[in-house]
Amino acid sequence: MLGVPVLGSPAAVVIAFLLSAVEVVRRAARPGGTTLRPGPDGRFTAAARPQEAAAGLVLYRFGNELFFANAAEFAAEVDDLTAAGDVRWFVLDAEAITDIDTTGAQTLAEIARKLAGRGVIFAVARAPRSLRDLLAHYGLGDLTHYDSNEAALDAYRQDGAHR
């Protein structure tokens, strides 16, 4: 508010631009995620608190692109959600992930390896074609993909019938 009278219009515009850019990065760095569960109509909805979509299955939606500024938060959330020993599958609903950088791809690969080491199956659901192409570019094309959360849930149930 005091920028224009004190510094003049050009300086105030530059300061406002820089503050806006910082705010955009801050919001992108903390996009938040939520676990999903099937609702009474069969459609998946956000759970009020972290919970499994089915016994042993965590279905998690991350709210933005996965990049250097939020990769550590993403990894921490996945760790928290899979800390219980009864999680057998972790499915990432990737519909909101429109981009991924090298750090994000490395984090995703580390998470997949870590979960596999604990016997947890890692899969991706609802990834847009552009994201699948990026994952393949980063050497993650072999991740299991499902076109929908319903398909992931069905696959989980079929897998559970054989265990």
Strand duo 57-62 + 33-38: pairing: antiparallel
At position 126, the amino acid (one-letter code) is: R
What integer pLDDT is reported at residue 17 of this predicted model? 53
d(CA 152, CA 91): 7
Rg (CA), the chain: 19
The answer to whether residue 57 scores a pLDDT higher than 80 is yes
Q: Find out whether 134 and 99 touch, Cβ atoms under 8 Å.
A: yes
For residue 30, pLDDT over 60 is answered with no
- The structure's pTM equals 0.81
**What is the sign of the dihedral through the CA atoms of 69, 75, 78 and 79?**
negative
Q: What is the mean pLDDT of residues 141-150?
A: 96
How far is Cα of residue 162 from the mean position of the Cα atoms in its chain?
28
* Both tokens assigned to 24: 């955009």
* Residue owning tokens 């519909």: 95
